[in-house]
Amino acid sequence: MTEVLPVEGFNFGPILIAQQPFSALPWVVMLPLIAALLCFTLYNIKAQRVISLLLGIGQMLLTVWLASIIAEDAASSVVHQLGGWPAPLGIVLTLNGFSALLLVMAAVIGFAITVYSCRYFTSSEQERKFWPLFWLLLVALNGIFISSDIFNLYVMLEILGLSAVSLVAIQAQRGALQAALQYLLVGLCGSLLYLFGVALLYRTYGVLDINLLSKVVIAEPVSQLALTVITLGLLLKTALFPLHFWLPSAHSNAPAPVSAALSGLVIKGSFYLLFVFWFKILSPAATFAGATFLGVLGAIAIVWGSVKAFNTPRLKLVVAYSTVAQLGYLFVLFPLFFGRPDLAMGAVAYFIVAHACAKAAMFMAAGSIQKAAGHDDIARMSGIASKMPLSIFIFAIAGASLIGLPPTGGFIAKWLMLTSAIESQQWWWVLVMLAGGLLAAAYLFRILNLAFTSGQDVPSEPLKNGPRERLWGPLILVTITIFIGFNAMWVLELLNAGTGVFALQPTDGLMTELANGSVNTAPSKEGL
Amino acid sequence: MMSQVELYTFCAVILLGMGMTGLILNQHIIRKIIALNIMGIGIFMLLISTAGVHSGAIDPVPHAMVLTGIVVAVAGSALALNLAARLKDMTEQADD
């Protein structure tokens, strides 16, 4: 049996309090907010596009610069006190390696979606509504990644939920509105449960700041109740099986750029919060049994989501169910944190990034196929690869990453996960991970198979709107997917620098273990 | 005899439970939105009772939280009602 050690909570390293207030950090939230306000006031599509592209590039530069500061500085986190008010009363912004990585991810994927959206919408009414809401979404997401006040996080969570719902509803069709309303009710319920947990914590410990709270929390019924309610609320928003019921309709009924943002980014926001609560803020209250329970739910999600994806007749619904399945992996990693937290941490971060890139690219490719064909009925898509080669190419590469084939980011993520499971001596999760890969291959090859064979019995349909493959956005993401498949070190070093969890470079860690003989076999590690 | 804080906490938990039950059991969309609001009020009441937990001075932070929470709840309810109204219009048009 596994020897279960209590998790001590992540040591995010010594906190660096800058001599002068670190003034760049609030801009991570301010920049998208300015973009949102400008897009809202300028009711002109051309101006909105120019602003979005320029500020999108600005946001990427800003986040990459912040990440490079974190990566260079061994002293790990950057702190900014809003308005100069210190922690118990004021709101503190904190940036560590994990959040820096997620900020860069959100900025890059946000930019890819921006590029794609400039050419996606046919209705100018929809596009005018899209830009301000999309930027608000990024405001909330960035806020979640850097804020360290649990009530402020509640506000950010609500902004995220409300803007995501409004984005689903910009396509004023009945199905989309119904999906949006259901999404809204579920989201509101989830964030109220979260607020309930916050109220309990404040009542017991009298502080809202993450760093202060993590020092005073002990394992007692109140903190465990708070963790349970917060977990329940965030699971509703993260859509873990069996609370995923709202996700497929919301994600598949939205316009393609919105689907890409929802599946790639929004879900990761609430997952990040859940992660921080389990392994940093309330880690004394977290139990191995609870984590295993989440892991089992995750395993069921992998199987259930894949089976549904295999049986569904619509392309975007397949991609949406695939999100349900892929989210399962993130929860399968929860129990592994009680064995080897350093390895599991790398796997979680890598998987989030790899999945976000692949899923956003896939939704955008599916969107352009749907647009050109006028439908997204899989049965009528035979031979579409010859008409829309680029879309299918992007779909296939993203698919390879979801399955976990080399040389994509998904392969590294799977590899890290498998290592983590074996090293934690919880080998049974390996079976789930391998089965999940096969199932993903099954539902993706079903589509690719049809796309490449021109049916003899069914004549392939002409494209309604002609092949309009304007796919620079997803192409960027697919390139990144392959790039991080070859350059895993870059991502892991950032985590390493920022969290203080990785002992040194992960390969070094593995090497020392190899030397100690604690790793029994060493399958090829070219990817690393 | 129940103290004021205990009474408030007790009522807050009851309201929260009522709201959740209503949200899960009701089919009608307006009822669901009202249930969500009741749930929210329960949590706000819990926060207000927190302000008096420590005898002596009253803690102002929960008040600030409740104020913010009310603003968020109004925004959420408005969006939900707007979506519900648009759905109803659409359904009626489809019936005509």
**Would you list the DSSP string of A460-491?**
PPPPSS------HHHHHHHHHHHHHHH-HHHH
Instruction: Name A120's bridge partners.
Output: none
Query: What are the Cα distances from residue A75, in Å, to A130, A352, A494?
Result: 40, 24, 12
> Which CATH number belongs to the domain containing residue B23 in this structure?
1.10.287.3510
Taking contacts as CB-CB distances below 8 angstroms, the residues of chain B near A189 are: 20, 23, 36, 39
Write down the residue that tokens 């969890």 correspond to.
A501
A499: left (phi over 0), alpha (psi -120 to 50) or beta: alpha
To which H or E segment does residue A307 belong? helix A288-311
What confidence score (pLDDT) does residue A67 get?
A: 87
Task: For A522, list phi and psi in degrees, rounded to 5.
Answer: -125, 90
- Select from A85, A196, A204 the residue whose CB has the most chain B CBs within 10 Å, as the one to mutate to test that interface: A196
The CA radius of gyration of chain A, in Å to the nearest whole number, is 22
**Residues whose CB is less than 8 angstroms from the CB of residue A412 and which lie 6 or more positions away in sequence, other chains included:** A350, A354, A484, A485, A488, A527, A528
ipTM over 0.90: yes
Q: Do B72 and A208 touch (CB under 8 A)?
A: no
Separation CA A397–CA A176 (nearest Å): 29
**Residues whose CB is less than 8 angstroms from the CB of residue A271 and which lie 6 or more positions away in sequence, other chains included:** A234, A238, A327, A330, A352
Q: Does A156 touch chain B (CB under 8 A)?
A: no
Structurally, how many domains does chain B consist of? Answer: 1
What confidence score (pLDDT) does residue A259 get?
A: 95
Cβ proximity of A447 and A338 under 8 Å: no
Taking contacts as CB-CB distances below 8 angstroms, the residues of chain B near A89 are: 61
Tokens standing for residue A224:
């465990």
Q: What angle do CA A153, A158, A164 make, to 5 degrees?
A: 125
Separation CA A411–CA A354 (nearest Å): 9
Write down the residue that tokens 């991570």 correspond to.
A28
User: What is the distance in angstroms between the Cα of A385 and the nearest Cα belonging to chain B?
Assistant: 37
Give the CA dihedral A39, A40, A45, A49, nearest 10 degrees.
20
**Residues whose CB is less than 8 angstroms from the CB of residue A71 and which lie 6 or more positions away in sequence, other chains included:** A97, A100, A493, A494, A497, A498
To which H or E segment does residue A93 belong? strand A92-95
Task: For B2, list phi and psi in degrees, rounded to 5.
Answer: -80, 135
**How many residue pairs bridge chain A and chain B with CB atoms within 8 Å of each other?**
76
Weakly modelled stretches of chain B, pLDDT under 70: 1, 96
Taking contacts as CB-CB distances below 8 angstroms, the residues of chain A near B72 are: 154-155, 158
Q: Does B28 touch chain A (CB under 8 A)?
A: no
Q: Do A89 and B43 touch (CB under 8 A)?
A: no
Q: Does A179 touch chain B (CB under 8 A)?
A: no
Q: Do B72 and A155 touch (CB under 8 A)?
A: yes
Query: What are the Cα distances from residue A352, in Å, to A204, A345, A348, B34, B48?
Result: 33, 11, 6, 36, 38
pLDDT tens, chain A, 528 aa long: 334 333 444 444 444 444 444 578 899 999 999 999 999 998 889 999 999 999 999 999 999 998 888 887 655 677 888 877 887 888 899 888 889 999 999 999 999 999 999 988 888 889 999 999 999 999 999 999 999 999 999 999 999 999 999 999 998 889 999 999 999 999 999 999 999 999 999 999 989 999 899 889 999 999 999 999 999 999 999 999 889 999 999 999 999 999 999 999 999 999 999 999 999 899 889 999 999 999 999 999 999 999 999 999 999 999 999 999 999 999 999 999 888 888 888 899 999 999 999 999 999 999 999 888 888 888 888 888 888 889 999 999 999 999 998 888 899 999 999 999 998 888 899 999 999 999 999 999 999 988 888 765 555 566 766 556 678 889 999 999 888 888 777 777 777 654 543 332 333 333 333 334 333 333 333 333
Closest CA to A200 of A243, A159, A232, A244: A232
What is the reported pTM? 0.88
Separation CA A473–CA A402 (nearest Å): 19
To which H or E segment does residue A92 belong? strand A92-95
Taking contacts as CB-CB distances below 8 angstroms, the residues of chain A near B43 are: 192, 195-196, 199
Q: Determine the structural domain holding residue B25 and report its residue range.
A: 4-95
Q: Do A158 and B75 touch (CB under 8 A)?
A: yes
Tokens standing for residue A217:
């929390």
A439: left (phi over 0), alpha (psi -120 to 50) or beta: alpha
Instruction: Name A411's bridge partners.
Output: none
Task: For A446, list phi and psi in degrees, rounded to 5.
Answer: -60, -40
Query: Is the sign of the CA dihedral A85, A89, A93, A95 positive or negative?
Result: positive
Give the CA dihedral B51, B57, B61, B63, nearest 10 degrees.
60
Which residue of chain B has the CA closest to A175?
B87
User: What is the distance in angstroms between the Cα of B17 and the nearest Cα belonging to chain A?
Assistant: 11
Q: Do B16 and A169 touch (CB under 8 A)?
A: no
